[in-house]
Structure 1
Amino acid sequence: MTRFLAALATVLLAAAPASAFDTAARAAMVIDMTSGAVLLEKNPDMPLPPASMSKLMTLDMTFEALQSGRLSLDETFPVSEKAWKMGGSRMFVRAGERVSIRDLLRGVIVQSGNDACVVLAEGLAGSEAAFAEKMNARAAELGMTGSHFVNATGWPDPEHRMTARDLMILVDRMVNVFPEYYPIFAETEFEWDGVKQSNRNPLLYLDLGADGLKTGHTEAAGYGLTGSAIRDGRRIAFVITGLDSMNSRSQEAERLLTWAFREFRTEQIATAGQIVGEAEVWVGEDATVPLTPEHDVIATAPWSDIDKMKTIIRYDGPIAAPIAAGDRIGDLVVEAPGLPPVSTPLIAAAAVAKGGLATRVGAAIRTLLRDEDALLLTE
């Protein structure tokens, strides 16, 4: 699990104040992926029709097969009559031909081809229905509790649903788990069989640092977009859905990105390996154990409140010896005004052996003395 997914899963990351940004989207989520901070949530756990944004799950499973070596980019899959007859956005593959995975990926990402999705689904699972079952099983493993898949494309079906939070999990995986394939999302055009099509992501044509991800539109879903952009090493990702036009989707996406980059600042609080505090040790050779964050601690706050961020060390102690270096001891909690707190695991930076007989006897005597003092206070 990536640091971002761990942050996304924790209950500490509750909704930011609704007044922070007013969006017309039916559901929305904005994340600073560098720190894991949730900048905006609106109906993030409401299952809604995802339209072609659902294709991110099909891509996730294809990328997993490629990364594991079960599939190669040069391998080809046959085009069935079912795939050839698919409506909506298409790559325009022909029944009976074989198409490489390399081309099918661009057919899905750049051209949003429903036919290309079906070819991948049938090639990976034998049938689209079997592939949908695998999608549901994998989604459950990934913690996508608000999703249910009926097909590989996002084709309208009353049982085919996803939440903004689940889509954000897939955005994180596209960026962080599959960095070797993510650059495809930034390609603005792809030509297949003499038909050149442009990427439908409107942000790719603006000077915003955008490099992904996927649009979606059906009558039931409205217009949606999962997007991501990076500036000066800081990445913002968002999900919006349920907008009423292509133009409003483009404008809302640009507004969200501009707001997130302009109104918030990200700072490094501590680095992995840096000693940030100590925890009391019980019956150890040392009285305390040094603490370090499990990974670099990066926090986000509104520009006006960046100096008001607070860090708090939390642990249940004293910690009983022996302690091994790397043991989880507690958490470093970063609090910023107007945003939910973000927690980073704290681990032991050094080992602490169990104390000898004298240490244990001394601890027992101190415990007895404390118990006697407590008893006297109650008499």
Structure 2
Amino acid sequence: MIRKLTALAVSLALLCSSALPVFADGLPEEVDETVAADISAGIPAKSYILMEASTGKVLSESNADEQMAPASITKIMVMLLLMERIDAGTVTLDDMVTTSEHANSMGGTQIWLEVGEQMSVNDLLKATAVNSANDAAVALAEYMAGSEEAFAELMNQRAKELGMVNTTFKNATGLDADGHLSTARDIALMTQELLKHPKITEYTSIYMDSLRDGTTGLVNTNKMVRFYEGCNGMKTGTTDDAGSCLSCTATRDGMTLISVSMGSTTSKERFQSARTLLDHGFASYSLYTPELDPSLIPPIKVNGGQQGSVGVKIDSASSNIVIPKGGESQVQQEISLAEELDAPVEPDQVVGKVTYTLNGETIAELSIKAEQGVAPLDFKFAFLLLLRGFLGISQ
């Protein structure tokens, strides 16, 4: 009966949603431009952060390192650990997971998994990402680690690796627990890492779907995926301790932003916070990719090497730069390059840098590296060179 009622509710929502104003779904209407212009106003949250995903550049923040209960935003770590295992081939989306008594016992939002019921990883991931189902998240946690307690240890280990220094996980659901804490900055780092697995947005961007041949309806708890242009995830969270929280991602014009807000009083306020932060980011910043003329960085002379020079390259791994919108023409670059090197030269050895400035402020420094290694000149190599010269053999 519960499943049928759930599916009926979703069907009614589908029929009526087009006629409902945006605010009826808990998402505020367009933020007033004067509010968006002042980022300190219009963000009803105890802490927040706005980050550009590809560079990790923080564009705005307030109390971003204050430890707070993260509620179901916790499930971002569940999804991250799952996607890492899927990409590694140790778990597949078609794997079937059997529901334990512990997973069945979860309160809060759930899909009413029955003890012994089997469901695919694909469907459990969908239930976790879209519906924030606690029982689905725990079933996945147990499948990956054997128990929720063991999985929490994996969560904390991965958090440490990501530099989430103010985070401690006690469970896989985000249900309030003593010591289960995180921060807006740590959640942004976790979200940034999850975005490195593009397939996840196929789940987090779903607004409505169903499971069990249509008998269990799913409606995304993150209304931004429907009502905010470019939104593709990530995760809501609500508990008594946490209030209303949201980690939200959106992409426009090739730039992806991550907004995290924690401790809002209502669901509407968390969506207002996300919209204000994202609007500010997209209105104020853009990604700039430097195009450096290769002729400006010629090969460098190498003394005492088996080659007389070495080619150079720019460290392209960090070539995107976040700049104020419209500032592309004002970006200036300065090249610092070694005039010559002594062998040996190691592959990827840093031999210089390009400094980019905007209005006198350094906005990025990119390393210039050796394209390949150059071994030192030794007797054997020198003898071969002399022999080739004597015999008229070109290199």
Runs of at least 5 residues in structure 2 that lack an aligned partner in the other structure: 1-36, 380-395
Shift of the 96–350 alpha-carbon distance from structure 1 to 2, 3 Å rule, reads closer
Cα distance between partner residues in 1 of 2:332 and 2:131: 46
Cα distance between partner residues in 2 of 1:251 and 1:54: 21
Equivalent residues in 2 for 1:131-210 (5 A)? 131-176=151-196, 178-193=197-212, 194-210=215-231
1:260 paired with 2:281, answer yes
SS at match of 1:110: helix
Cα distance between partner residues in 2 of 1:42 and 1:199: 27
| Deviating more after overlay: 115-124 vs 279-288 | 279-288
Shift of the 85–290 alpha-carbon distance from structure 1 to 2, 3 Å rule, reads same
Please list the CA deviations of residues 234-277 of structure 1 after superposition, one character each: whole Å capped at 9, or x if unmatched.
22222121212111111221122121111112221137x94653
Cα distance between partner residues in 2 of 1:340 and 1:202: 38
* Alignment-derived partner of residue 328 in structure 1: 350
Shift of the 34–138 alpha-carbon distance from structure 1 to 2, 3 Å rule, reads closer
1:225 paired with 2:246, answer yes
SS at match of 1:154: coil
State the AA in 2 paired with 1:128. Answer: E
Cα distance between partner residues in 1 of 2:249 and 2:140: 25
Please list the CA deviations of residues 180-222 of structure 1 after superposition, one character each: whole Å capped at 9, or x if unmatched.
3331111112323423131011211124111111111112212
Cα distance between partner residues in 2 of 1:305 and 1:246: 36
| Deviating more after overlay: 164-173 vs 98-107 | 164-173
**Post-superposition shift, 1:42?**
2.2
Shift of the 274–301 alpha-carbon distance from structure 1 to 2, 3 Å rule, reads same
Q: 2:118 aligns with which of 60, 84, 98?
A: 98
Shift of the 95–225 alpha-carbon distance from structure 1 to 2, 3 Å rule, reads same
Task: Give the CA RMSD over aligned residues.
Answer: 3.0
1:310 paired with 2:332, answer yes
**Post-superposition shift, 1:350?**
5.4
Identity of aligned residues (%): 29
1:348 paired with 2:367, answer no
* Alignment-derived partner of residue 370 in structure 1: none
Cα distance between partner residues in 2 of 1:243 and 1:319: 57
TM-score for both structures, normalised by structure 2: 0.76
Cα distance between partner residues in 1 of 2:98 and 2:209: 20
Cα distance between partner residues in 1 of 2:263 and 2:205: 24
**Post-superposition shift, 1:279?**
9.1
1:121 paired with 2:141, answer yes
Q: 2:77 aligns with which of 53, 57, 76?
A: 57
Q: 1:110 aligns with which of 106, 127, 130?
A: 130
CA contact (8 A) 2:39 2:276 kept: no
* Alignment-derived partner of residue 236 in structure 2: 215
TM-score for both structures, normalised by structure 1: 0.79
**Post-superposition shift, 1:107?**
0.9
Cα distance between partner residues in 1 of 2:378 and 2:96: 66
Runs of at least 5 residues in structure 1 that lack an aligned partner in the other structure: 1-18, 358-379
Equivalent residues in 2 for 1:244-255 (5 A)? 244-255=265-276
SS at match of 1:180: helix
SS at match of 1:40: strand
Cα distance between partner residues in 1 of 2:342 and 2:78: 47
